[in-house]
């Protein structure tokens, strides 16, 4: 039983690989996030010696501002995330992309090709790809060449991406069901008539399977592209942006937030009660469900259902 997803959203998530939530953020939330982006941008420009018209991206963005941290367990998004991927999750990555308009003379590369003058100058022509595909990553243990379902991201649109070529995210609906090798075989050419350039207003959000093939178009507008992605994967995988979050940040967080920050909510030894003789990672098989408080949270909201068999 779903906590928050409608039947249509479940269908879209399964078939297309993403759900669009227009007007997701309230005006107040959007204002707070934009002011956080401006603060962080000033700091990054100063510390990294960047001009205001230079693009940058930061990972583990949640550690850079409380407004970003608050997205991790956003009260209206968390139920959708749990419906999409379940409760046994933590953050893999959180990233902010700040991409000013291209200088007038800069020539945009073709969408999704990962090359061109813009790419060379650091404006990143993000090529068509599913996340984490590769012969040493999720694809390696796949039996049929397709990616297992291991991750979702939430894309938060903070600047105006309603027009074409504002640094829009592109998606190829249904491509999460296809082997990434097909994309390599086509030399990253996708069927243009099936690809979708997401044209979204500030405040929209997209919950998406990161196995869906996606790319980012050029920013030929006069506005700075400001967006965030927050990625959630299973607790038994390793996060990409951090090994452990700052202990002080974890200690000052609620139990659910601690789980999402990749910690054990009880603060007990992650190798269990007898770490010297019977070490047993609590990220794999937890002995104390208080370490995974999102389980009880989800059960409370979905009528106590927990479609869970014991580990074999
Ligand atoms: O929207 C972006 O800037 C990057 C999207 C992307 O390629 C990703 O999240 O893997």
- For the chain, give every domain's residue range: 7-253
pLDDT at residue 114, rounded to an integer: 83
Mean pLDDT for 227-233 is 98
Q: Which atom of ligand 1 is nearest to the CA of 214?
A: 7
Confidence check: pLDDT of 40 > 70 = yes
Q: In angstroms, what is the span from residue 17 Cα to ligand 1's centroid?
A: 15
Instruction: Give 54-101 pLDDT, tens digit per residue.
Output: 999 999 999 999 999 999 999 999 999 999 999 999 999 999 999 999
Pocket flag, ligand 1, residue 161 (CB < 6 Å) = no
Ranking 113-117, 161-165, 263-267 by mean pLDDT, the lowest is 113-117
Q: Binning pLDDT at 50, 70 and 90, where does residue 233 land?
A: very high
- Answer with the residue of higher pLDDT: 118 or 159: 159
Confidence check: pLDDT of 306 > 70 = no
Confidence check: pLDDT of 46 > 90 = yes
d(CA 249, CA 187): 43
pLDDT at residue 305, rounded to an integer: 65
Confidence check: pLDDT of 309 > 70 = no
Provide, rounded to the nearest whole percent, the portion of the chain with pLDDT above 90.
Answer: 84
In DSSP notation, the chain reads --SS--HHHHHHHHHTSEEEETT-S-HHHHHHHHHHHHHHHHHHHHHHT--TTS-EEEESGGGT-HHHHTTTT-TTTHHHHHHHH-SSEEEEEEEEEEEPPPPTTPPPPPTTSS-SHHIIIII--PPSB-TT-STTTTTTT-SSSSPP--EEEEEEE-S-B-STTBS-EEE-TTGGGS-HHHHHHTTT---TTT-EE--B-TT-EEEEETTS-EEE--B-SSS-EEEEEEEEEETTS--SS-SS--HHHHHTS-HHHHHHTTS-TT---TT-S-TTTS---TTTS-S-GGGSTHHHHHHHHTTT----PPP-
pLDDT at residue 118, rounded to an integer: 84
Instruction: Give 95-136 pLDDT, tens digit per residue.
Output: 999 999 988 888 888 898 888 888 888 888 889 999 989 888
Mutate to test the pocket of ligand 1, among 60, 61, 91, 95 (most ligand atoms within 8 A of CB): 95
In terms of CATH, what superfamily is 7-253?
A: q2cbj1_9rhob like domain (2.60.120.620)
Q: In angstroms, what is the span from residue 282 Cα to ligand 1's centroid?
A: 31
pTM value is 0.96
Of 131, 77, 96, nearest to 260 by C-alpha is 77
Q: Residue whose CA is closest, atom 10 of ligand 1?
A: 131
Q: Binning pLDDT at 50, 70 and 90, where does residue 146 land?
A: very high
Q: Binning pLDDT at 50, 70 and 90, where does residue 207 land?
A: very high
Pocket flag, ligand 1, residue 92 (CB < 6 Å) = no
Confidence check: pLDDT of 284 > 80 = yes
Mean pLDDT for 229-235 is 98
Q: In angstroms, what is the span from residue 209 Cα to ligand 1's centroid?
A: 12
Of 173, 152, 163, 161, nearest to 203 by C-alpha is 161
Ranking 146-160, 165-179, 298-312 by mean pLDDT, the lowest is 298-312
Q: Binning pLDDT at 50, 70 and 90, where does residue 307 land?
A: low
Q: In angstroms, what is the span from residue 305 Cα to ligand 1's centroid?
A: 34
Pair of tokens at residue 255: 């139990």
Confidence check: pLDDT of 304 > 90 = no
Q: Which atom of ligand 1 is nearest to the CA of 155?
A: 1
Q: In angstroms, what is the span from residue 214 Cα to ligand 1's centroid?
A: 8
pLDDT at residue 80, rounded to an integer: 98
């Amino acid at each position: 039983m779903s906590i928050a997803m409608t039947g249509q959203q479940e269908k879209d998530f399964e078939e297309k690989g993403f759900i669009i939530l227009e007007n997701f953020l309230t005006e107040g939330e959007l204002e707070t996030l934009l002011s956080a982006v401006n603060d962080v941008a000033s700091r990054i420009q100063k510390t990294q010696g960047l001009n205001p018209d230079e693009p940058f991206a930061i990972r583990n963005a949640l550690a850079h501002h409380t407004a970003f941290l608050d997205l991790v367990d956003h009260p209206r998004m968390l139920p959708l995330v749990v419906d999409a991927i379940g409760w046994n999750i933590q953050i893999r990555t959180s990233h902010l992309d700040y991409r000013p308009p291209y200088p007038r003379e800069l020539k945009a590369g073709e969408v999704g090709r990962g090359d061109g003058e813009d790419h060379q100058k650091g404006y990143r022509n993000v090529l068509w790809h599913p996340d984490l595909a590769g012969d040493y990553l999720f694809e390696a243990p796949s039996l049929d060449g397709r990616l297992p379902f291991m991750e979702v991201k939430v894309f938060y649109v903070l600047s105006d991406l309603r027009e074409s070529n504002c640094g829009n995210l592109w998606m190829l609906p249904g491509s999460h069901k296809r082997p990434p090798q097909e994309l390599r075989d086509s030399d990253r050419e996708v069927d243009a008539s099936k690809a979708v350039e997401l044209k979204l207003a500030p405040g929209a959000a997209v919950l998406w399977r990161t196995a869906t093939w996606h790319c980012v178009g050029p920013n030929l507008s006069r506005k700075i592209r400001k967006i965030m992605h927050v990625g959630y994967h299973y607790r038994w995988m390793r996060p990409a942006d951090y090994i452990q979050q700052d202990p002080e940040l974890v200690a000052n967080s609620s139990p659910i937030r601690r789980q999402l920050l990749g910690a054990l909510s009880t603060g007990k030894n992650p190798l269990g009660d007898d770490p010297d003789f019977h070490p047993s990672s609590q990220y794999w098989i937890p002995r104390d469900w208080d370490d995974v408080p999102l389980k009880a949270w989800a059960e409370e909201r979905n009528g106590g259902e927990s479609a869970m068999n014991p580990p074999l």
